[in-house]
Structure 1
Amino acid sequence: MNKIFNCDIMEGFKQLDSQSVDCVITSPPYWQLRNYGFDGQWGLEPTFEEYLENLWKMMDEINRVLKDTGTVWINLGDTYSTKSGGFAQEASKRTPSMTQKYLDHIGTIQQPSNLPTKSLLLIPHRFAIGCFDRGWTIRNDIIWAKTSAMPESVLDRFSKKHEYIFFMTKKPKGYYFDLDSVREEHMQSTLKREMRGRNTGKYTGGAGGQSEQGLIKEREHKGYENMKDIYESGETTLNPKGKNPGDVADFWKIGTAMSKTEHVASYNPALIDKPILAGCPRGGVVLDPFSGTGTTLVRASQLGRQYIGFEASEQFFKITEESVNQEEERKSQPTIEDFI
């Protein structure tokens, strides 16, 4: 497979067969935040309603090309309403020089004048609700806690340091999801607590829909030396392969990438490792409709998956092409295992 197309996203979908993709991981341009300087780019629609309609059209095409067992991961940030065309000019007067590169890409962006000034527009939430209304199953609204968020010179609200990643599927059950591949080590305090043993409480019979193996089981104190036996006997609620990483905190507390390119929206490869590992089988196909500089495609290849990417900007397409070619060349080089 392994293809990249220098074309508009909707033209790219026309190149794909139905039920041909295992996993979609992408980050659409956020509404009215960046101007990359080429015609037909997404994110510069006159209203956020038009922007959302375009995103939902994209989701309709994703629904067509995605296998019934497939998963979708959409990273989406929000936008504050501002005075029309005033953001870049106003911010540049009081923003440190380290963010000037970012401001240079914003350009003069006109927002509709009927929006309440300085309000979050809740675009990620509106997008997710629209997907729900169209039949998508929303499995998680993951919080990406950004450790290196863009500085903001604001005095009347908290600086924004998170974005959303929506994990969606075409159906509620039967999709590919490998939790064991992304489990994390249990904390030592948790292991010690489990090894001590504890009695079942009044309400540990479980709420409706709770799986039995997730409940606390009654157990006598057995000391710390026989944890392996406790695991094997099924008397502990802890999975020996590790804990479910959850949808916030340490799992998704990842900084943005320090990009060497002119693409200021690059994200950290670590952000997409777990969606690829958990949401796409080895050898499966990962699609990124907004491939940017090719981060998703390169990481998919490194993790043993195939990839497809669309990129409308000729400049960023060349960067993507160079990145994936370097990765393919690296993989073709002999390793020490070849001589053993």
Structure 2
Amino acid sequence: MNSRSSTDAACPSGRAPMNRTLVLTEGDRDRLSPHLLRHPPAGGFAEPPQGTIHGDCLRWANHLPPTFVDLLLLDPPYNLNKTFNSQKFTRQTVEQYTEWLDQVVTILVPLLKPSASIYICGDWFSSPSIFAVASTHFIIRNRITWEREKGRGSRSNWKNASEDIWFCTRSDEYTFNVDAVKLRRKVVAPYRRSDGSPKDWQQTCDGNFRDTYPSNFWTDITIPFWSMAENTDHPTQKSEKLIAKLILASTNVGDMVFDPFLGSGTTSAVAKKLGRRYLGIELDEEYCLLAEKRLELADSAPAIQGYADGIFWERNTLAIQTGKRSQMLTPPESIP
């Protein structure tokens, strides 16, 4: 994707009137540019920095404090041909991509606490490389597969409709808040006890729901699109809901979340909304500025689509959401 002049207007021409895609004005650029970290301080960082670094994570890593990261969210370019505004990534052989990814991880490992968790994003073609590198440096705990409901079909192959997130830790001491990432599902077969009361589900005026523990197969993620306030023109943007699950599960309030391939800033924005500290590094200045704008907006719009009252909802089942909380159409005492 190349830079487009449409990002220079608050109501860019060529977009539908209801298009909520987040764009930058020249005023945004002037205001937010000083917020970016562009050069490390001469004497190094006395404390871990917070915010957005404009630069190359491979060059910045040696300037950052050791063992300051609680959660590393690694979403590097996948092993395919892709243009990211001013940056291009070219598909490599599996061996070449594995070598590049190993270089990235080797440089980042010293930044991690012994109790840190690591999530590495990829697609099917990146998976052999991710497994090879992750198994060398970390303890692999699981592989999450999430349904990517958008994408073009193919006449000569199966449509790619899923992506993976590899869950790793540095040691056997790590954070996992399973109760923070429950999923509220619609109940298809509402079984009742002998007295007629619901068995393991809740009855509401919006329908019947059950709160379930999370699995490693996620079908409730919506890819950001034009009518969502979180949407940007970044070609591979992750949804805030997806990132929120990872942050809530593997950090506590006040922990440091680090994303060295920040893109348009989803990780930092979600970390801020959830009361975590955050640091992101991004090569492209336009995306850095988008990240800063999203951080700015997080103060006035802290909601995360599909997440309310400490519960993640199945896609299109959260009936009414206002601010941080959903408005349940049932007495609160009926829902534990």
When normalised by structure 2's length, the TM-score is 0.64
SS in 1 for 2:183: coil
1:314 positional shift: 1.7
3-state DSSP class of the match of 1:35? strand
Find the aligned partners of 2:300 and 2:187 in 1 and give their Cα distance: 42
TM-fit CA distance, 1:46: 4.8
Aligned residues: CA RMSD: 2.8
| Equivalent-residue separation in structure 2 for 1:185 and 1:37 (angstroms) | 37
Q: 1:318 offset after TM fit, Å?
A: 2.0
Deviations 1:38-95 (A, max 9, x none): 46x6x336544222212112222332111121111111124xxxxxxxxxxxxxxxxx
Please name the residue that 2:268 is paired with. 297
Measured after TM superposition, the shift of residue 223 of structure 1 is 5.1
Q: Which residue of 2 aligns with 1:87?
A: none
CA contact (8 A) 1:252 1:271 kept: no
- One-letter amino acid of the counterpart of residue 125, structure 1: P
Note if contact 1:5-1:311 (Cα within 8 Å) is conserved in structure 2. Answer: yes
- CA deviation string 1:241-264 (max 9, x = no partner): 94321011xx44312212654321
Look up the SS of the partner of 1:246 in the other structure: coil
Query: Which residue type is aligned with residue 281 of structure 1?
Result: N
Structure with more strand by fraction: 2
Number of the residue aligned with 1:71: 117
Offset, 1:322: 2.3
The match for 2:285 is: 314
The separation in 1 between residues aligned to 2:245 and 2:198, in whole angstroms, is 32
The separation in 1 between residues aligned to 2:198 and 2:151, in whole angstroms, is 49
Contact 1:23 1:280 survives alignment (8 Å): yes
2:225 maps to which of 254, 258, 277 = 258
- Structure-to-structure mapping, 1:328-339, within 5 angstroms: 328=299
Q: What is the CA–CA distance in structure 2 between the aligned matches of 1:270 and 1:257, rounded to whole Å?
A: 10
Query: Counterpart in 2 of 1:323?
Result: 294
Is 1:142 the equivalent of 2:144?
yes
Structure 2 residue aligned with 1:245:
214
User: 2:32 is matched with which residue?
Assistant: none
Task: Assess, with a 3 A threshold, how the Cα gap between structure 1 residues 330 and 127 changes in structure 2: closer, same or farther.
Answer: closer
* CA offset digits 1:92-140 (Å, max 9, x no partner): xxxxxxxxxxxxxxxxxxxxxxxxxxxxxx32133213321x1411111
CA deviation string 1:218-253 (max 9, x = no partner): xxxx7555979xxxxxxxxxxxx94321011xx443
CA distance, structure 2, for counterparts of residue 10 and residue 161 of structure 1 = 31
- The alignment partner of 1:192 has SS state of coil
> 2:184 & 2:240 partners in 1: Cα distance?
21
Once the two structures are TM-superposed, the CA of residue 141 in structure 1 deviates from its matched residue by: 0.8
1:5 and 2:53 correspond: yes
CA distance in 1, matches of 2:158, 2:268: 34
* Per-residue deviation, 1:5: 0.7
* Percentage identity across paired residues of the two chains: 24
Whether the aligned pair in 2 keeps the contact of 1:3 and 1:308 (CA below 8 Å) is yes
For the pair 1:275 / 2:242, whether they are aligned, the reply is: no
Q: Could you report, residue by residue, the CA deviation over 1:292-316 in whole angstroms, capped at 9, with x for unpaired residues?
A: 1111100110011110000011221
Q: Tell me, in whole angstroms, the C-alpha distance in 1 between the residues paired with 2:179 and 2:185.
A: 13
SS in 1 for 2:191: helix
Q: In 1, distance between residues paired with 2:198 and 2:234?
A: 53
Could you say which residue in structure 1 is the equivalent of 2:179?
A: 180
Instruction: Decide whether aligned partners of structure 1 residues 15 and 184 sit closer, same or farther in structure 2, where only a CA change above 3 A counts.
Output: same
Alignment check: 8 A CA contact 2:190 2:198 kept:
no
Q: How does 1:69-108 map to 2 (within 5 A)?
A: 69-78=115-124
Does the CA-based 8 Å contact 1:294-1:320 persist in structure 2?
yes
Unpaired segments of 5 or more residues in structure 2?
1-48, 201-209, 303-322, 324-336
Give the count of matched residue pairs: 242
Matched, 1:55 2:137: no
**Aligned-residue offset at 1:180:** 0.9
Contact 2:269/2:294, CA 8 A, preserved across alignment: yes
Cα 1:9–1:48, aligned 2, differ >3 Å: closer, same or farther? farther
Q: Supply the distance in 2 between the matched residues of 1:290 and 1:128 (Cα, whole angstroms).
A: 19
Judging by fraction of residues, say which structure has more helix.
1
Which runs of 5 or more residues in structure 1 are unaligned? 79-121, 196-221, 229-240, 336-340
CA distance in 1, matches of 2:85, 2:198: 64
Residue in 1 that maps onto 2:131: 128
Name the CA shift for 1:225/1:70 in 2 (closer, same or farther; >3 Å).
same
2: CA distance, partners of 1:18 / 1:129: 24
1:157 maps to what in 2?
A: 157
Distance 2:63 2:189 in 1: 50
- TM-score of the two chains, using structure 1 as the length reference: 0.63
